[in-house]
Amino acid sequence: MHKFERVADTTLKEPFGQDPPNGFEVGADIPDRSRVIVGVSIRMAGGNITTLQISGRRLDPDTGKLVGDVNVFTAGSEPHHSLEVKVDGNNLSEGPNRVLTGLWARAHPGNITSLKLWTKSINEDGQLEGLVSVQAGSPPPSGFEAELILPRPFVATGIGLRAHPGNVTHLCGEFSILKPTYSGVQMH
């Protein structure tokens, strides 16, 4: 009997739920319903986002713990290029059982300069708690250009980005609900 499930995959787009006029330049998700995102890495070239890496780990449905190695999924026009900012899921200092619940990004024309990930830990009851941020790159001089924070009980399962002209203009998050169950019977 499973104690935890990932259910209700859906999409949230910023700003204001809009698609960019020419689509997202890069996007990646974790279609495996047993995995969640624990890290994100990005690169820009020529004012466009060319490389996106998302790191995922398997959610054990019986314990609610993240188990196994970090798996990396890449996307973009240069998916295997070096990255400008990286938070890969192995270096989350607040503990190994943290999942992505938000993302902020900033570019200075032509390069991603700042990336902040918001994470929460999964407690024994399957609830998300303890919002903590992890930042890569230099501190932004005037805030982030694109921000996406998911409310409880959502966890990120995909990311999409677009830049123009060399600034992050759109951010898309695919997310799911982490739903606790009890003795194999879903709680409502």
Q: With beta carbons less than 8 A apart as the criterion, state whether 116 and 148 touch.
A: no
Residue at 38 is within a domain: yes
Q: With beta carbons less than 8 A apart as the criterion, state whether 52 and 42 touch.
A: yes
Q: Please state, in angstroms and rounded to a whole number, the distance separating the CA atoms of residues 135 and 176.
A: 23
Give the pLDDT mean for 103-113.
Answer: 86
Residues 153-188 pLDDT 10s: 788 888 888 887 778 888 888 888 777 665 444 444
Burial 122-140 (b: 16+ CB within 10 A, else e): beeebebeeeeebebbeeb
Residue at 188 is within a domain: no
Residue at 160 is within a domain: yes
Provide the whole-model pTM. Answer: 0.82
Residue at 59 is within a domain: yes
Residue at 37 is within a domain: yes
Residue at 187 is within a domain: no
Residues 25-75 pLDDT 10s: 888 888 777 788 888 999 998 888 999 999 888 888 777 788 888 888 899
**CATH (domain of 42):** 2.100.10.30
Domain that holds residue 110: 4-182
Residue at 45 is within a domain: yes
Could you please report the per-residue DSSP string of 22-60?
T--SEEEE---TTEEEEEEEEEEETTEEEEEEEEEEEEP
Domain count for the chain: 1
